[in-house]
Amino acid sequence: MNTEWHFPIMIVATLLLYVGILRLILGTTTFRRRLFAVLPVAVVVVVGGMLFGKYGATVFGLPWWIYYPIPAALTVVAVPVMFRLSLLRTLAYILLAGVSSPLIHLGFSFLLGWNEYMPFWPVPSLTAW
């Protein structure tokens, strides 16, 4: 079965969650005031990172130690630098950003049976029961 259509849905879901994390970390006032900076950063980190990860591995044949850590490093560095986060907000951001990917994978895998978000982590699916 062709699952290529899963990828854009995963990107949108990840982007929405990521923007929510940024709103939580930046606070409502800063988030609204810097919205025109938040959205491009979110698109570059999420969409750019996911495209680089997927096509870096499948199309360009990059090794995992290139296609995985580069988007991860961008995720960790871009927001604290761009928005000059305090140490506490940076640590909270890194924690939330780090937990979000496994949670998204768990949701897609368990609820829908889509395991391609993090294929190296097998999760049983409700659709298999």
pTM, whole model, 2 decimals?
0.90
Residue 107 lies in a domain: yes
CB contact set of 64 (below 8 Å; sequence gap of 6+): 57
Q: What is the pLDDT of residue 118?
A: 75
d(CA 41, CA 84): 13
Q: What is the pLDDT of residue 57?
A: 85
pLDDT tens per residue, the chain (129 residues)?
Answer: 778 898 999 999 999 999 999 999 999 999 999 999 999 999 999 999 999 988 988 889 889 889 889 999 999 999 999 999 999 999 999 999 999 988 998 888 888 888 877 777 788 888 777
Residue 57 lies in a domain: yes
d(CA 67, CA 50): 9
- The 10s digit of each residue's pLDDT in 4-40 is 898 999 999 999 999 999 999 999 999 999 999 999 9
Give one DSSP letter per residue of 41-109, joined into a string: HHIIIIIIHHHHHHHHHHTS---HHHHTHHHHHHHHHHHHHHTT--HHHHHHHHHHHHHHHHHHHHHII
Residue 85 lies in a domain: yes
Q: Please give the tally of structural domains in the chain.
A: 1
Residue 59 lies in a domain: yes
Name the residue range of residue 103's domain: 6-128
Residue 16 lies in a domain: yes
Residue 61 lies in a domain: yes
User: Which of 115, 109, 117 has the alpha carbon at shortest distance from 10?
Assistant: 117
Please say whether the dihedral angle defined by the alpha carbons of residues 62, 58, 14 and 29, taken in this order, is positive or negative: positive
Residue 67 is given by DSSP the state H
Q: What is the pLDDT of residue 124?
A: 83
Residue 47 lies in a domain: yes
Residue 1 lies in a domain: no
